[in-house]
Amino acid sequence: MTVHRLSRRPDLGTRLRVSFEFFPPKTDEMERRLWDTVLRLEPLNPHFVSVTYGAGGSTRDRTLRTVSRIARETSLPPAAHLTCVGASREETDAVIASFAAAGVTRFVALRGDPAQGVGAAYAPHPEGYTNGADLTAALSRQGNFDVSVSAYPEKHPESADFATDIDMLKRKVDNGAVRALTQFFFENDAYERYVERVRRAGIYVPIVPGILPIHNFSQVANFAGRTGATIPGWLARRFDGLEHDPQTHALVSAAVAAEQVQDLIERGIEEFHFYTMNRADLVFAICHMIGIRPLEHEGKTRTPAAA
């Protein structure tokens, strides 16, 4: 990782803000783990938490149940992921209405992956919304929602070039998106170059870096290969030989993610979106290292790091 040391801002620790991403559980055991994670991270007082929407809309009902429970049983502001894959406009609008009826006011609008999964060929529903920009416009028509969208520091694998990719982001913002959450990345220089391109294109919403703590390097490397994210050589060397050493793997993972986040803070970044994989320990440790701590006593509405 190339580290650029920009001028440190002494008061930055009082303004850092985080959000967390979860996925809806498939089994009772996964549900227990998710709720252990939610309750462990809740005291960190994130800006919001999001719940994913499976390929082809396959987890729609589970996403709604999970978001509704978070809203009902915790103090966390939940955001529901929403895609337009495999659904007509009428069906997608009905899903938006069902989320809104459950009190959901935050969404993460994504085109989504085909039902066959990441890497499969995408074909829009003949009567559906075509992409994330169209979906964002549909959300804007139905309510005054807080809408986040996706961004790709290394370019979406289906985009012809960065210009095409950034033009799509601009359409999303023009249609009502208030922030972009990036695909995970491990080279901060790539993120910084991307933000510079975005700003030159006249896009000024926050481009929130997506941080993926590596719970299983082999799985992350495989997923990165299908999503267009780069696994740098230095990163692979960090995890070399740790396939059967989970304790050291966890320590290295925490160190790598903390280094990445600390470097981004040095570059002036104040907001981070963590892909938790429904596990709390690494995310909690990283937040601790950057100064985001649990509420110390009742009556506080924010951690010192998120005020």
Q: Which residues are catalytic?
A: 21
Read off φ and ψ for residue 180, nearest 5 degrees. Answer: -120, 135
Q: Are strands 146-151 and 207-211 parallel, antiparallel or unpaired?
A: unpaired
R_g over Cα of the chain: 19
Let me know: does 25 contact 277? Beta carbons within 8 Å.
Answer: no
Taking the C-alpha atoms of residue 131 and residue 112, their distance in angstroms, rounded to an integer, is 8
Taking the C-alpha atoms of residue 65 and residue 198, their distance in angstroms, rounded to an integer, is 35
Let me know: does 211 contact 257? Beta carbons within 8 Å.
Answer: yes
The pair of structure tokens assigned to 83 is 């895609």
Q: 69: Cβ–Cβ under 8 A, 6 or more apart, which residues? A: none
Taking the C-alpha atoms of residue 58 and residue 137, their distance in angstroms, rounded to an integer, is 22
Rounded to 10°, the helix 246-266/188-200 angle is 40
Q: Residue with structure tokens 């991403």?
A: 21
* CA 188, 257, 8, 19 torsion-angle sign: positive
Taking the C-alpha atoms of residue 19 and residue 276, their distance in angstroms, rounded to an integer, is 10
Taking the C-alpha atoms of residue 137 and residue 144, their distance in angstroms, rounded to an integer, is 11
The pair of structure tokens assigned to 227 is 């999503």
Rounded to 10°, the helix 246-266/281-289 angle is 40
The number of C-alpha atoms within 13 Å of 56 and in the hemisphere containing its C-beta is 11
